[in-house]
Amino acid sequence: MAQFTRALAGTALVTVALGGPAAAQSLVISNWDGYMPEDLLDRFTEATGIAAELSVHATNEEIMGRLVAGGGAGFDVVFVSSPFAEALHALGLTAELNHDLIPNAANLYPEAQNLEYDPGNTFSMPYAWGTTGLCYRADLVETAPTSWTDLLDPPADLAGEVTMLSTDRWLMAAGLLALGYSVNDTDPAHIDEARDLLISATDTLLAFDDTTFYSRLVSGEASLVHAWDGWCNYGTAEDPNILFVVPQEGSDLWVDTMVIMASSENQEAAHAFIDFVLDAANHRWVAENILYKVPNEAAMAGLDPALVEAFPNLGMTPGELLEMEQLRDLGEAQRDYTRAVTEVMAAQ
Amino acid sequence: MSTARTRTVLFLAPGLGWLALFMLVPVGIVIADSFFQRGIYGGGVYTFTLENFARAFDPLYAGVLLTSAKIAGLATLAAVLIGYPAAYAIARGPKHRQPLLLFLVMLPFWSNYLIRTYAWIVLLNREGLLNQGLRMLGYDGEPINMLYTDATVVVGLVYNYLPFVILAIYASLSRLSGDLWEVSSDLGASPFDTFRRVILPLSLPGIAAGAVFVFVLSIGNFVTPDLLGGGRVQMVGNLIYDQFLSARDWPFGSALSFLLIGIMMVLLFAQALVVSRSQGEHHG
């Protein structure tokens, strides 16, 4: 039987490869590069007989651009952060989720089933969650950083050894939080204030970096970087001197979600994929592989304690995460954010 | 219609069709987009506005355009100064060795642009090969950070576009008859005078072609400033890239692209002028 389904999956793949009529139940999934175990799609195909291929995007903005330009055409399941899922929903590009087809959704923490951006997970399923903070080389900094100000106006010994995220929500969050404002603040005066603070911060910056900051820490090129918790773990894995801290002013709770495109012709298969990911064993494999927290109680319960010891931020509880401020879509004010970020980047 | 005309039309059709479909149409869309307002999540709202152009001339963005022109200009100057002697040496060298030398000039293109540029990061970063080398030679101060400056971006651009300049200048030098040197010297000109008054003016079209090539490719480049400028050196190419892929402000990105296309067209026109004038002198 297994051989039969594999043969069937093989046929589906070949059909797609030949560019013939789209085989029924063959999925296109877009995710960040390296944000799921390499064998996950093969395992999915093996378990369900549904062929799936991976398309990668580097940032939320990039996939958002593709989806908006094409009305979502060509994609079945897309991984995006919650504010972007919210925006896709507002644009009518996401499908309504049918929970009867996703029984494994019951594995999620109760907190993860009732997040502000999508109570009841009607159009998005949480895949991974965490916060943003400071990732640093304990052996290269004189005093351990504790505040967003340590990033924006670092002590003299760290000047020129600091990197920051440049994607709009997280860059702005660093400025807003340092000033005591909300990560979702839409007051234009506050946005301008944060922008000016960020412009002054570029003086001590080594570079803006959204993708290779942890390797800069490992090589010693940078000592302190603005980072997502899970990505800091990639540095820790190579050098135990690399630590993560949430600044005292607090931070954001981001949730990376899976959404199904309304335009997808494979709705059932897309639901099957989400259900497959949320399976306790599969989702645990995801957490162990990408070193990010997953909002799946059953999966986290089975996580190897040695892993949590090596990467302490994997041990943050849902309660601790929910103390952070949930990132929301900004609607019209998104224009002001992107303009402010463009001005920060253009200022020299 | 004569058969010759039919043949011309037939042969031109695929090329013209390709250009019309894949160049004129996209450029038309970009130009149209630049007069719209932005949508919240990307795309455009179809209300006519000149705001995008007004914004492009805001000192902040005009400054980015000037920085880009400065970086591209420096890269062009450096590439011509380095490339001319190389092209001259190849063109004046023994005929049988020229194919090998030209082949060596083209060799870097065998590897990917991104990888060639990334290699500079490995060389220049604080813990990079150059700093390690300095330390082995006895330097024991703070590691020198040579990355993420305007100068690094210029170095990256020169490195990547130098072969084009060498080839363009070689092409115009190799067309010159060897008799020119002989005649000039027979008439009493010193080798320097021969170069300055005969060879250099005749190779001007090659210099112009190479220079415009480097400048046009450099001013719109966004990969090199992104990697070697660390996001801190912002060129107009990065600004446009960000408008489409991160800020989701397509109309503003389109307006900037439109201005860039304008600059490039003026330059290409100027280059065509240089070429036709020097050819005019040649034959006239």
User: What was the ipTM of the complex prediction?
Assistant: 0.74
Question: Which residues in chain A (218-247) have CB-CB distances under 8 A to chain B?
Answer: 219-221
Measured between alpha carbons, how far is B213 from B107 in angstroms, rounded to an integer? 19
A63 and A123 belong to one structural domain: yes
Measured between alpha carbons, how far is B137 from B109 in angstroms, rounded to an integer? 33
Taking CB atoms and an 8 Å cut-off, how many pairs form between chains A and B?
A: 93
Model confidence, pTM: 0.81
User: Which residues of chain B are within 8 Å of residue A137 when distances are taken between CB atoms?
Assistant: none
Measured between alpha carbons, how far is B232 from A345 in angstroms, rounded to an integer? 7
Give A135 to chain B, closest Cα distance, Å. Answer: 19
A292 and A203 belong to one structural domain: no
Q: How many domains, chain A?
A: 2
Q: How many domains, chain B?
A: 1
User: Which residues of chain A are within 8 Å of residue B242 when distances are taken between CB atoms?
Assistant: 342, 345
The answer to whether residue A321 is domain-embedded is no
* Domain with A219 in it: 130-252+326-346
The answer to whether residue B252 is domain-embedded is yes
A11 and A98 belong to one structural domain: yes
pLDDT band at B247 (very low <50, low <70, confident <90, very high): confident
Measured between alpha carbons, how far is A5 from A48 in angstroms, rounded to an integer? 8
| Closest in A221, A335, A345 to B38, CB measured | A335
The answer to whether residue A233 is domain-embedded is yes
Give residue A344's pLDDT.
Answer: 92
Does residue B60 belong to the interface with chain A, where contact is any CB pair within 8 Å?
Answer: yes
A108 and A192 belong to one structural domain: no
Q: CB–CB of A255/A126 below 8 Å?
A: yes
In this prediction, residues A137-156 reach a mean pLDDT of: 95
Give residue B105's pLDDT.
Answer: 93
A236 and A113 belong to one structural domain: no
Measured between alpha carbons, how far is B177 from A310 in angstroms, rounded to an integer? 73
Question: Which residues in chain B (101-140) have CB-CB distances under 8 A to chain A?
Answer: 125-127
Q: What is the CATH number of the domain that holds A160?
A: 3.40.190.10
* Domain with B261 in it: 55-283
Residue A9 predicted with pLDDT over 60: no
Measured between alpha carbons, how far is A172 from A170 in angstroms, rounded to an integer? 5
Question: Closest by alpha carbon to A134, among A118, A123, A150, A122?
Answer: A150
Q: What is the DSSP letter of A97?
A: P
A147 and A34 belong to one structural domain: no
pLDDT band at A6 (very low <50, low <70, confident <90, very high): very low
Is A68's CB within 8 Å of B40's CB? no
**Residue B267, C-beta contacts closer than 8 angstroms, at least 6 positions apart:** B212, B215, B216
A144 and A167 belong to one structural domain: yes
In this prediction, residues A96-125 reach a mean pLDDT of: 97
The structure tokens 């994997």 sit at A314
Q: CB–CB of A347/A199 below 8 Å?
A: yes
A21 and A53 belong to one structural domain: yes
pLDDT band at B186 (very low <50, low <70, confident <90, very high): confident
Q: What is the CATH number of the domain that holds B135?
A: 1.10.3720.10
A123 and A188 belong to one structural domain: no
Q: Could you give phi then psi for residue A100, rounded to 5 degrees? A: -65, -25
The answer to whether residue B46 is domain-embedded is no
Looking at per-residue pLDDT, the higher value among A107 and B108 belongs to A107
With a pLDDT cut of 90, the percent of chain A lying above it is 80
| Closest in B145, B245, B249 to A160, CB measured | B145
In this prediction, residues A80-97 reach a mean pLDDT of: 95
- As given in the structure block, the two tokens for residue A85 are 């899922």
Give residue A24's pLDDT.
Answer: 52
> Which range is least confidently modeled, A134-138, B59-63, B157-161?
B59-63
Interface residue of A57, A162, A206, A334 to substitute, partner B, most B CBs within 10 Å: A206
A-chain residue closest to B58, CA distance: A343
Kind of pairing, strands A252-260 and A325-326?
A: parallel
Beta strands in chain A (DSSP E): 26-32, 51-57, 77-81, 125-137, 162-164, 205-208, 224-228, 242-245, 252-260, 325-326
A189 and A212 belong to one structural domain: yes
A122 and A258 belong to one structural domain: yes
The answer to whether residue A312 is domain-embedded is yes
Residue B201 predicted with pLDDT over 50: yes
The answer to whether residue A50 is domain-embedded is yes
Does residue A212 belong to the interface with chain B, where contact is any CB pair within 8 Å?
Answer: no
